[in-house]
Amino acid sequence: MPRLTRRAFLLAAVLLGTGAPAAWAQTRPSLTIAAPPADQSTRTGPVVVASHMLSGRKLQELLASGFPARLHFTVELWSTGGWVNDLERSTEWDVVVRWLAVERVYEVTQVSGDRPFSLGRFALLADAASAVARPTRAPIAAPAGRHRFYYQATLSVETLALSDLDEVERWLRGELRPAVRGERNPGTVIGRGLRTLATRLLGGEKREYVARTGVFGTTDERR
């Protein structure tokens, strides 16, 4: 019975929510990706911006009820010109957002590989969303040569599934905190925890966004 009681409490928290601001809930999320200038295309990667990704009443209610949200970014470099386009390079990173009830702040953390990086703590959800939306340069540049390329960015915004509430109890006891502070391997928690929890957002579906640049060319710098 204790487990059922805890599960019922957590479910009630999700269903009742906290009354997130209606105006904010109506802001439409957008994902953009911009290729670097032509003269820098072989030295630097594209810039990705994920705006208003914390909008939506259901997501805001889940966050305010203590459930972390995970934003998983994938950026790919594709070459064109053959029978099919070819994937040349790719990179991934996560942004984790959660509400810390004791401090009454939203904590935003970026995780690339096993390296967590704090984007800050914010009293207002709008400020946390601005941290999520800060321009991020993907660390993949196009190779030099006579090729045509484009970048594609994919972003999935996910939170827990109902079937994962037992695991959520461990999150609410603070398992994420030592991970993002470097006190234990963050890859373990992010991979085993968030990737297990992070399914089925908003009416049984996760939100996914895709953006791509136009096709651009590079030249052989040895010439």
Residues 6+ apart with CB under 8 A from 176: 68, 96, 98, 189, 193
Displacement of CA 16 from its chain's centroid (Å): 25
Q: Is residue 33 in some structural domain?
A: yes
Domain membership of residue 161 (yes or no) is no
* Poorest-pLDDT segment among 42-56, 83-97, 154-168: 154-168
Is the pLDDT at 73 greater than 50, yes or no?
yes
What tokens were used for 186? 């963050």
Res 23 pLDDT > 60: no
Higher pLDDT, 96 or 115: 96
> What domain range includes position 132?
2-155+208-218
Looking at the domain assignment, is residue 189 inside a domain? no
* SS3 call for 30: strand
What is the C-alpha to C-alpha distance for residues 167 and 196, in angstroms, rounded to an integer? 9
Which pLDDT score, from 0 to 100, does residue 166 have?
52
- Residue 170 domain flag: no
Does some domain include residue 90?
yes
What pTM value is reported for the model? 0.72
Q: Which two tokens mark 221? A: 């710098």
Residue at 174 is within a domain? no
- The number of folded domains in the chain is 1
Alpha-carbon distance of 173 to 175, in angstroms, equals: 6
Which of 50-59, 90-99, 102-111, 157-166 is predicted with the least confidence, judged by mean pLDDT? 157-166
Residue 164 falls inside a structural domain: no
Determine, yes or no, domain membership for 131: yes
pLDDT for residue 74 is more than 90: yes
Give mean pLDDT, residues 139-154: 90
**In 143-207, where does DSSP find H-type helix?**
165-172, 176-180, 186-188, 195-197
